[in-house]
Structure 1
Amino acid sequence: MKILGIDSSARSASAAITDGEKVLGCFYTNTGLTHSQTLMPMIESLLKNANVKLDDIDLIAVNKGPGSFTGIRIGVAAAKGMADVLKIPVYGASTLGSMAYNLIDTDCIACCAMDARCGQVYNALFDITDGKITRLTEDNADLIENVEKKLKEYKKIKFIVGDGAEICYNNLKNADDVRLASQTHRFQSAVGVCFEAMNAPEDKYIESAMLVPEYLRLPQAERELKAKLHK
């Protein structure tokens, strides 16, 4: 099964094509340009260089959140648009869950973290043993000190990945067995999106109309409006 994976959940963006466990190609950009400028041209170039036609794709997978509200909307809209044209299913991946695949070859506790601002991180914990990923906590937005409390429950070595990894590590580096993942394994990747989709039950493959972003919390404008209404 050929899967086109998309990630635009943070500052960087990436797209990948996999066929089973084989990665046919992956493009990554972190240029400062908006995802609306870069995402579709990147996908077109990826298809051309991987010698894959869009019609050959069986499933489109996209990180549906958490992450940048604007970035998530762009990625989800792109996935839905292509799936509609091709009449194929989509898979909405957890940004945090797909990041755990960065550490698939390392037996550890993966602490996947993204900067949620306001002193919080989006995070989830995963156990990785012998190439198998087991989710330990649900995706949530939490204070870093609460993440530290959760990590103390586990004896295995912990690696922190994600664009919030450095923030977490600077606050947790004195904790037992906590390490910062290397730059090459730290950030979101569309390859992980493909692998999460490949390992998901087929009933999670849905029609494009059913795919919606998962922000974990309201966008800032909505939070401010809600606060005004409750004054």
Structure 2
Amino acid sequence: MLILALDSSAAPASAALLEDGKILSEFYINTKQTHSQTLMPMVESVLKLTNKTLDDVTCMAVSAGPGSFTGVRIGVSCVKGLSMTRNISCAGVSTLRAMAENARQLTGIVCAVMDARCGQVYNALFRAEDGKLTRLCDDRALPIAELLEECKTFTEKIYLVGDGAELCYKTFAAIRAELLLPQLRFQRASGVAMAAQEMVENGQTVTPDALMPIYLRLPQAERELKAKNAQKNNK
């Protein structure tokens, strides 16, 4: 099984190739270039340097959200375009699930958080034990204070991952949560690939047509428009 995975859900972008559980190659970049400029060259590189082609790929995976609305759209569109002509199956991986892969070998609660602005974070909780991850809740958007109250109920060690981890770290001081190192904190295409492997094994892949972004909230412009319309209707 050969999985080609992409991540463009936040500022960095990456591409990785996974074969039967082994990462063959990974390209990670964190510059001011747009993902529309960097993703395709990275895909070409991870394939070329491993002497693989798209015809060898069994499944294409992408971090489908939550995350940057523009970044998620670019990643999903790229995977749909590449897979459609060859009818390659697709896996839309939760960005939060992908970043939790970095803490799979730890023991405790993995708290995956992304900055959702407006005092909220995108979050999912996982239990890491014996090299396995167990999801404890669905992906959601919630206030940091509310997340803290929930995490206080756990007796296990809590590990913070994601671009919202540092944002939560001081607030979580009372429960002594641990902030993972930067190289383990953020989502990468290798994590997307590992999560996608489980989806393939569990029959959770979809056709290219059915692959869609995962938005937990409306884009800011749509939220503002909805608020304006509500104000007009209340007058």
The verdict on a shared fold, with TM-score over 0.5 as the criterion, is: yes
1:58-105 per-residue CA deviation (whole Å, 9 max, x = no partner) reads 000001100000000000000101110221110100000111100111
Letter paired with 2:93? A
Letter paired with 1:197? A
Equivalent residue number for residue 196 of structure 1:
195
Letter paired with 1:115? D
Q: How many angstroms apart in 2 are the aligned matches of 1:154 and 1:50?
A: 43
Equivalent residue number for residue 92 of structure 2:
92
1:121-154 per-residue CA deviation (whole Å, 9 max, x = no partner) reads 1011000000110001111111111111111111
1:157-197 per-residue CA deviation (whole Å, 9 max, x = no partner) reads 1110011110011221x222301001110001111111111
- Cα distance 1:142–1:50, how it changes in 2: closer, same or farther (>3 A)? same
Paired residues in the alignment total 230
Q: How many angstroms apart in 2 are the aligned matches of 1:107 and 1:216?
A: 28
Identity fraction in percent: 50
**Shift of residue 48 of structure 1?**
1.1
**Shift of residue 42 of structure 1?**
1.0
Q: How many angstroms apart in 2 are the aligned matches of 1:90 and 1:10?
A: 20
Equivalent residue number for residue 165 of structure 2:
165
Any conservation in 2 of the 1:126–1:135 contact (CA below 8 Å)?
Answer: yes
Q: How many angstroms apart in 2 are the aligned matches of 1:213 and 1:106?
A: 29
Gaps of 5+ in 2: none
Q: How many angstroms apart in 2 are the aligned matches of 1:202 and 1:185?
A: 26
Equivalent residue number for residue 82 of structure 1:
82
Any conservation in 2 of the 1:156–1:177 contact (CA below 8 Å)?
Answer: no
Equivalent residue number for residue 53 of structure 1:
53
TM-score (norm 2): 0.95
Letter paired with 1:190? A
Any conservation in 2 of the 1:123–1:140 contact (CA below 8 Å)?
Answer: yes
Q: Which runs of structure 1 show a deviation greater than 4 angstroms over 4 or more consecutive aligned residues?
A: none
Q: How many angstroms apart in 2 are the aligned matches of 1:205 and 1:167?
A: 33
Letter paired with 2:59? L
TM-score (norm 1): 0.97
Equivalent residue number for residue 101 of structure 1:
101
Q: How many angstroms apart in 1 are the aligned matches of 2:27 and 2:228?
A: 43
Equivalent residue number for residue 227 of structure 2:
227
**Shift of residue 156 of structure 1?**
0.8
Equivalent residue number for residue 175 of structure 2:
176
Any conservation in 2 of the 1:111–1:158 contact (CA below 8 Å)?
Answer: yes
Equivalent residue number for residue 212 of structure 1:
212
Query: RMSD of aligned C-alpha atoms?
Result: 0.9
Gaps of 5+ in 1: none
Q: How many angstroms apart in 2 are the aligned matches of 1:32 and 1:163?
A: 17
